[in-house]
């Protein structure tokens, strides 16, 4: 098993075999993201990837879960991706789940027939960085797509039968009235997209990023912990998707909250309101405890 540079994976892929298929992110322009700033995007050769799969089989044996790294593995040409999925199935008889980060532009470049073929070949879980439903913010953070394009990408993944996890970013609007607008717009795109999971992360400034410099210049004001909870509260009050698993335990969040909506809405709101009402910061993760 060989890896180039830092490797990132979603929290829920902690037990997966991480197979690095791409190096870096094909987009690599989002203002808040420093994950792949040190890497120039490329797709590893199929031979290299097959060698890695063979090494993994020899070293760790059979596995049930595989996550395709780095960012945006769905950018790989469909025939190559199908070959990788076939190789994984042959190498790991118990394989039941392959997941990947998927960029919205790369997803849109695939036809519905291709997405279905990929899902049937084993690509079961897609993690889409939606970040916000606010059109203006999508542009400001250089996400590379409009609201309509992001929505279409997410809906296509759901229609193709993939298990979709939409990742959103609390605090990405900065301070002021746009914070609530961001939360409302994010609830709206989620309601229309209907992902199976909604994973919330909180903006954390990363040195070297555009956002970091904006903060240094005083052009972007970070929310305080209570203000991020206000955003979460607006989200919970406005999400209407049935059986939506909300995953809010990421290390960047001040208050870890998990639950299934709408069933757990009241419990989740009580947890947030009790902190907001008491202004008791002891229930929150300290800046030192928070992570990326
Ligand atoms: S947030 Fe995702 S799409 Fe944007 S640069 Fe980072 S890895 Fe790439």
Sheet holding 65-69, edge to edge: 17-20, 65-69, 97-102, 123-131, 163-170, 197-202, 244-248, 257-261
288 pLDDT band (50/70/90 cuts)? confident
Which pLDDT band, with edges at 50, 70 and 90, does 75 fall under?
A: very high
Under a CB-based contact definition with an 8 Å cutoff, are residues 202 and 171 in contact? Answer: yes
pLDDT range class, residue 157, cuts 50, 70, 90: very high
Structure confidence at residue 283 (pLDDT) = 84
Give the Å distance between the CA of 79 and the centre of ligand 1: 24
Banded pLDDT at 144 (limits 50, 70, 90): very high
CB 10 within 8 A of CB 165: yes
Domain 11-283 has CATH 3.20.20.70: yes
Q: Which residue has the higher pLDDT, 252 or 85?
A: 85
Percent of the chain predicted with pLDDT > 70: 100
The mean pLDDT of 255-271, rounded to a whole number, is: 96
Is the per-residue pLDDT at 233 higher than 90?
yes
27, 36, 128, best to mutate for ligand 1 pocket (most atoms within 8 Å of CB): 27
The yes-or-no verdict on residue 1 having pLDDT over 90 is no
What residues does each domain of the chain span?
11-283
Is the Cβ atom of 145 under 6 angstroms away from ligand 1? Answer: no
From 25, 32, 108, mutation site for ligand 1 pocket: most ligand atoms within 8 A of C-beta: 25
Q: Write the pLDDT tens digit of every residue in 176-221.
A: 999 999 999 999 999 999 999 999 999 999 999 999 999 999 999 9
Mean pLDDT of the chain: 95
> Looking at residue 11, what is its pLDDT?
87
Does position 91 have pLDDT exceeding 90, yes or no? yes
Question: What is the rounded average pLDDT of the residues 226-239?
Answer: 97
């Amino acid at each position: 098993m060989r890896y180039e540079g830092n490797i990132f994976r979603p929290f829920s892929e902690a037990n997966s075999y991480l197979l690095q298929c791409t190096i870096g992110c094909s987009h690599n322009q989002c203002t808040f993201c420093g994950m792949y700033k040190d890497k120039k995007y490329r797709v590893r050769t199929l031979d290299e990837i097959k060698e890695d799969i063979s090494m993994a089989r020899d070293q760790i044996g059979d596995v049930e879960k595989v996550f395709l790294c780095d960012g945006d593995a769905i950018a790989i040409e469909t025939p190559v991706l199908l070959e990788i999925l076939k190789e994984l199935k042959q190498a790991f008889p118990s394989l039941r789940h392959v997941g990947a980060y998927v960029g919205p532009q790369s997803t849109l470049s695939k036809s519905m027939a291709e997405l279905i073929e990929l899902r049937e070949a084993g690509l079961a879980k897609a993690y889409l960085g939606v970040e916000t439903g606010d059109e203006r913010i999508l542009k400001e953070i250089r996400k590379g797509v409009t609201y309509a394009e992001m929505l279409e990408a997410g809906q296509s993944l759901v229609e193709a039968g993939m298990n979709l996890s939409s990742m959103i970013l609390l605090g990405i609007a900065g301070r002021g009235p746009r914070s609530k607008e961001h939360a409302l717009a994010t609830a709206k795109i989620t309601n229309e997209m209907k992902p199976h999971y909604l994973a919330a992360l909180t903006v954390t400034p990363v040195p070297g990023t555009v956002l970091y410099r904006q903060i240094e210049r005083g052009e972007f004001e970070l929310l305080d912990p209570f203000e991020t909870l206000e955003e979460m509260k607006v989200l919970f009050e406005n999400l209407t998707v049935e059986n939506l698993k909300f995953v809010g335990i990421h290390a960047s969040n001040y208050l870890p909250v998990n639950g299934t909506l709408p069933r757990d809405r009241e419990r989740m709101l009580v947890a947030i309101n009790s902190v907001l009402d008491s202004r008791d910061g002891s229930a929150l993760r300290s800046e030192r405890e928070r992570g990326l």
